[in-house]
Amino acid sequence: MARSLLALASALPAVMALNNGLALTPQMGWNTWNRFGCGIDEDLIVGSAKALVSNNLTALGYNYVLIDDCWHADSRDPDTGAPVENKDKFPNGIKGVADQIHDLGLKVGIYSSAGTYTCGGKFGSLGFEEIDAKTYASWGIDYLKYDNCYNEGRAGTPPVSYERYNNMSRALNETGRPILYSMCNWGEDGPWNFAVDIANSWRISGDIYDNFDRYDVRCPCTDMLDCKLPGFHCAVTRILDFSAPLGQKAGRGHWNDLDMLEVGNGGMTFDEYVTHFSMWALVKSPLILGNDVTDMSDDTKTIITNDAIIAVNQDPNGSPATRVWKRSLPDGGDLQLWSGSLVNNQFVFAVLNTGTSNHTEDISLIDVFTDQGKSFGSGTFTLFDLWQKDDSGKWGKNIGDFQGKVSVTVGAHQTKVYRATPASGAKRAVDEL
């Protein structure tokens, strides 16, 4: 009984997603906003696209080059109402930029808001969905990030938010061009419930801030499931807390978006950025770089090129890791265990320490395999530490076979990530159900 129900459940998710064939694994790329804000132009964007290629980031999957806010002219075309770009910043138009990005083998995205203005005060798309979508398609756009500023109060209940965001979803579909639809409504009205079949991803919270755990009154919610003011300046550990109950809502073609990455922007330590990158990957958030990719430190490159962590994010199973437990530590921080399953009877788990001192803990493998059952979790597993390199220099060092428990030491603000596979001779998960 249990087995057939599970088999059925795993066959379902693809059916419910937005039917545009995109984002079957979380989208990856680079966006202008976190680092450059409104200070963007053609040279910056095309130069960054070239840097993605020359740094081999595109080979790792970072394929979308995303133009965020402030590409706009002061106003729309007065005759047609069509959106117009700022000709000083984009002398060849957005189309000219898109052509150059396509020539590099990459895809290109643009930004607007489901409101009268964008968050940067430019013209928004509310009431202009069709002409905007058509214009984007004619420019060769492959991706739309769609914000929530100046929404004229058309929010507050799921049906109203749904209708407003669905108006753009339909307009994009009607262009006939597959355009990845990335909703950015800050989790308002619970998009994980209402947007599954109209968007490829939805932001779950207020904007990220380049900080590990600082409380900021502008990110006032403690629980996104009951949040009236998503705010912004949300630290990494807070967004992760918000995401903890939402894993079940995401899957192939429809993802929880924890917001763009801050790795490389300078507000966090190496270990904190490792935590940020690892956890975004495990919960299957889009991985959108937000740093200056033309000028990166070796530490930044080390983090964003860890292909073992990226493989977890891009696992075809599309199953977000969930938090098994969160325990208070004596130093005021907490220790968290997250686990998830991958294709081919592989699993991933992470141990995260938000405290300020080193901590060593025996992690129970029965806890890790909560979803697979006690009998399965009692088996022997080969573990690979995904932040250590093996002898051949590849990420993912075999640290041995374990049964029952594994002792894990995690430094302050650090995360350890392990891939687990049943040791040879062990039964497959499905046999144990």
Ligand X SMILES: *[C@@H]1O[C@H](CO)[C@@H](O)[C@H](O)[C@H]1NC(C)=O
Backbone angles phi, psi at 381, to 5 degrees: -130, 140
How many other C-beta atoms can be found within 10 angstroms of the C-beta atom of residue 65? 29
Residues 19, 75, 193, 328: which binds ligand X (CB under 6 A)? 19
Q: How far apart are CA 258 and CA 267, in angstroms?
A: 17
Query: Which C-beta is closer to ligand X: that of 140 or that of 178?
Result: 178
Of the candidates 142, 189, 207, 257, the residue annotated as catalytic is 207
Residue 207 annotated in active site: yes
Residues 81, 93, 178, 245: which binds ligand X (CB under 6 A)? 178
- In angstroms, how far is CA 180 from the centroid of its own chain? 14
Residues 411, 421, 423, 433: which binds ligand X (CB under 6 A)? 411
Query: Which C-beta is closer to ligand X: that of 291 or that of 319?
Result: 291
Q: How far apart are CA 110 and CA 71, in angstroms?
A: 9
Q: How near is the Cβ of 161 to ligand X at its closest, in Å? A: 8
Q: How near is the Cβ of 112 to ligand X at its closest, in Å? A: 14
In the range 263-292, which residues lie near ligand X by CB under 6 A? Answer: none
Q: How far apart are CA 281 and CA 307, in angstroms?
A: 11
Query: Which C-beta is closer to ligand X: that of 164 or that of 254?
Result: 164
> Cβ-count burial of 392 within 10 angstroms (0-12 exposed, 13-18 middle, 19+ buried)?
exposed
- For β-strands 380-389 and 201-203, DSSP reports them as unpaired
| Six token digits for residue 417 | 């990530």
| Six token digits for residue 141 | 């756009």
Query: Which C-beta is closer to ligand X: that of 56 or that of 193?
Result: 56
| Six token digits for residue 160 | 């109203």
| Six token digits for residue 410 | 């995690």
Q: How far apart are CA 105 and CA 22, in angstroms?
A: 17
Q: How near is the Cβ of 222 to ligand X at its closest, in Å? A: 29
Number of residues that bind ligand X (CB under 6 A): 16
Q: How near is the Cβ of 51 to ligand X at its closest, in Å? A: 10
Q: How near is the Cβ of 425 to ligand X at its closest, in Å? A: 34
Q: Does 182 bind ligand X (CB under 6 A)?
A: no
Q: How far apart are CA 179 and CA 182, in angstroms?
A: 9
What residue has token string 């590099």?
104
Query: Which C-beta is closer to ligand X: that of 241 or that of 292?
Result: 292
Q: How far apart are CA 241 and CA 405, in angstroms?
A: 25
Name beta bridge partners: 400.
Answer: 383
- In angstroms, how far is CA 321 from the centroid of its own chain? 13
Binding mask 34-63 for ligand X (x = CB under 6 A): ---------------------xx-------
Query: Which C-beta is closer to ligand X: that of 226 or that of 295?
Result: 295
Q: How near is the Cβ of 19 to ligand X at its closest, in Å? A: 3
Query: Which C-beta is closer to ligand X: that of 158 or that of 178?
Result: 178
Of the candidates 147, 257, 259, 292, the residue annotated as catalytic is 147
Q: How far apart are CA 29 and CA 17, in angstroms?
A: 21
In the range 355-394, which residues lie near ligand X by CB under 6 A? Answer: 357-358
Q: How far apart are CA 97 and CA 138, in angstroms?
A: 13
> In a 3-state reduction of DSSP, which class is residue 246?
helix
Q: How far apart are CA 383 and CA 412, in angstroms?
A: 22
Q: How near is the Cβ of 122 to ligand X at its closest, in Å? A: 19
In the range 118-177, which residues lie near ligand X by CB under 6 A? Answer: 154, 160, 163-164, 167, 173, 176-177
Residue 147 annotated in active site: yes
List, by residue number, the catalytic residues. 147, 207
Where does this chain bind ligand X (CB under 6 A)? 19-20, 55-56, 154, 160, 163-164, 167, 173, 176-178, 357-358, 411
